[in-house]
Amino acid sequence: DAKTTQPPSMDCAEGRAANLPCNHSTISGNEYVYWYRQIHSQGPQYIIHGLKNNETNEMASLIITEDRKSSTLILPHATLRDTAVYYCIVRTVSPYTGANSKLTFGKGITLSVRP
């Protein structure tokens, strides 16, 4: 799976949009971009994923650049409960090989939402 690069930390004000960047310059054509987050001491939580089109769900939006070498997770109205470590993960999705389901977690980006 391709490697991802995220800044170590960022902060934003409560109620404002949080834009979390991720670089994945070696991504290949069959690799998806996944985002998970881990709120202090809890298990990771799935947020969103995408291949090349922008995606939106009830939690967040995912913007993937046209060349797919970077992406941005957007939390439109950050709250204090969004303070967490956010992981950007690139992985192949194959129904044939169980190992391709593994999630390779890096150190992620620590988002601090301030009141």
Partner 1 sequence: NAGVTQTPKFQVLKTGQSMTLQCAQDMNHEYMSWYRQDPGMGLRLIHYSVGAGITDQGEVPNGYNVSRSTTEDFPLRLLSAAPSQTSVYFCASSYATGYEQYFGPGTRLTVT
Residues at the site binding partner 1, with contacts judged by CB under 8 A: 34, 41-46, 49, 87, 93-108
Q: Which is nearer to partner 1, 25 or 104 (CB)?
A: 104
Would you call 27 helix, strand, or coil by DSSP?
coil
DSSP E strands: which ranges in 53-104? 55-56, 61-64, 70-75, 84-92
Q: How far is the CB of 35 from partner 1 (least distance, A)?
A: 10
Q: How far is the CB of 38 from partner 1 (least distance, A)?
A: 9
Q: Which is nearer to partner 1, 21 or 44 (CB)?
A: 44
Q: Which is nearer to partner 1, 47 or 75 (CB)?
A: 47
> What letter does residue 77 receive in the DSSP assignment?
T
Count CB-CB contacts under 10 A for residue 9: 11
